[in-house]
Structure 1
Amino acid sequence: MIYNFTEMKKRNESMEEELQALKKNYQKPQMSNNQLDKLRKRMEEANMENRRDKRKKKMIQATAAAAAIVGAFLILPNTSASIAHAMEQIPIIGQLVEVVTFRDYTYETDRNMADIEVPEIKLDDQAAEGEVKENLERSTEEINAEIQKITSELIAEFEANLEYEEGYQDVIVQSEILATEEEYFTLKLICYQGAGSGYQWNYYYTIDLNTGERLQLKDIFAEGADYITPISENIKEQMREQMAADENIYYWLEDEIEEWNFKAITDETSFYLNDKGNVVIGFDEGEVAPMYMGTVEFEIPAEALQGIRK
Structure 2
Amino acid sequence: MKGKDMNNLKKVQEEYNQPVMNEKEVTKMKQRMEEAKKDAKKGKRRIAEFVAAAAVLTFVILPNTSADIAYAMTSIPGLGKLVELVTFREYQYEDERNHADVKIDKLTVSSEEALQEDTQKSETLKKTTDEINQEIADITDKLVNEFKENRQNEEGFQEMVVKTDVICTTEDYFTLKLICYQGAGSGAEWDYFYTIDLNTGERLQLKDLFVENSDYKGVISENIKQQMREQMQADESVKYWLDDPQVEEWNFKTITDDTSFYLNEDGEIVICFNEGDVGPMSMGTVEFTIPKDVTAGIMK
* Same-fold call, TM cutoff 0.5: yes
Show the counterpart of 2:173. Answer: 184
Partner of 2:183, secondary structure, is strand
Structure-2 separation of matches of 1:197 and 1:43: 15
Decide which moves more: 115-124 or 283-292. Answer: 115-124
Displacement of 1:227 = 0.3
1:44 maps to amino acid: K
The counterpart of 1:90, out of the listed 41, 64, 74, is: 74
- Counterpart contact for 2:98–2:157, Cα < 8 Å: yes
Describe the shift of the 1:50–1:191 C-alpha distance in structure 2 as closer, same or farther (beyond 3 A).
farther
Matches within 5 A, 1:35-74: 42-46=22-26, 48-49=28-29, 51-52=31-32, 55-56=35-36, 58-59=38-39, 62-64=42-44
Matches within 5 A, 1:182-221: 182-221=171-210
Describe the shift of the 1:176–1:50 C-alpha distance in structure 2 as closer, same or farther (beyond 3 A).
farther
Q: Deviations over 1:24-51 (max 9, x none)?
A: xxxxxxxxxxxxxxxxxx1231453464
Q: Which has the higher contact order (CA 8 A, sep 6+)?
A: 2
Structure 2 residue 297 is the aligned partner of structure 1 residue 293: no
Show the counterpart of 1:68. Answer: none
Q: Which runs of 5+ in 1 are unaligned?
A: 1-6, 20-41, 66-72
Aligned residues: 268
Displacement of 1:56 = 4.1
Task: Report the RMSD for the aligned CA atoms in angstroms.
Answer: 2.4
Partner of 2:16, secondary structure, is helix
1:89 maps to amino acid: M
Q: Which runs of 5+ in 2 are unaligned?
A: 1-10, 46-60
- Counterpart contact for 1:273–1:280, Cα < 8 Å: yes
Describe the shift of the 1:131–1:137 C-alpha distance in structure 2 as closer, same or farther (beyond 3 A).
same
- Counterpart contact for 1:113–1:171, Cα < 8 Å: yes
- Counterpart contact for 1:118–1:147, Cα < 8 Å: no
Matches within 5 A, 1:135-214: 135-214=124-203
Q: % of aligned pairs identical? A: 49
Describe the shift of the 1:265–1:63 C-alpha distance in structure 2 as closer, same or farther (beyond 3 A).
closer
2:162 maps to amino acid: V
Displacement of 1:284 = 0.3
Decide which moves more: 193-202 or 139-148. Answer: 193-202
Structure 2 residue 96 is the aligned partner of structure 1 residue 106: no
Partner of 2:277, secondary structure, is coil
Displacement of 1:201 = 1.0
| Normalised TM-score (structure 2) | 0.82
